[in-house]
Amino acid sequence: MAKILPASEIDFSRYYGGIEVTGRWVGRAMWRGRMIAGFGGLIETDAGEWFAFLEVPREERKPSVFRHVLAAFAEAKEQGAKVIKATCDASIPRAVDLMMHLGFAPTDEILDGKVVWKWER
């Protein structure tokens, strides 16, 4: 069973192949033993605007992940997030339901072939 913990810059870099974050962000790393198996978080892309991302292995997509999503969103909001955008992979069961439950709505914007969803305070 995986363990989800607040992520460090080293965790981010390790999971995303050496990418360094230079701005504000919050995140969670999903650990299986000594390996990071999944990652999620939000990164500030402009003043007050953040982009959310979540990569969870199929076998770890459980309701318990939701509380970690909520915690990361709360941290971003505390740091001034007024708009949060994200893409949604509709092929993942219940992904659209999750977006709607979090208060996101689809936009006309497309990123990497996926619809961009938006939450606004």
pLDDT at 18: 87
Give the DSSP H/E element, type plus range, for residue 13.
helix 9-15
Give me the residue spans of the domains in the chain. Answer: 3-120
| SS3 label, residue 68 | helix
| Chain segment 43-94, per-residue pLDDT in tens | 999 999 999 999 999 899 888 899 999 999 999 999 999 999 999 998 888 8
CA distance 43 to 75: 11
CA distance 24 to 102: 21
pLDDT at 63: 86
User: Candidates 3.90.480.10, 1.10.510.10, 3.40.630.30, 3.10.20.90; correct CATH number of 3-120?
Assistant: 3.40.630.30
Task: Read off φ and ψ for residue 60, nearest 5 degrees.
Answer: -105, 5
pLDDT exceeds cutoff 80 at 1: no
- Tokens 């999750």 correspond to 98
pLDDT at 93: 86
pLDDT at 106: 96
Q: What is the mean pLDDT of residues 101-113?
A: 95
Confidence class for position 97, pLDDT limits 50, 70, 90: very high
pLDDT at 20: 87
Side by side, the strands of the sheet bearing 3-6 are 3-6, 25-32, 35-46, 49-55, 83-87, 114-120, 105-111
Output the pTM of the full model: 0.91
CA-based nearest residue to 13, from 36, 32, 42, 31: 36
| Chain segment 17-35, per-residue pLDDT in tens | 988 888 999 999 999 999 9
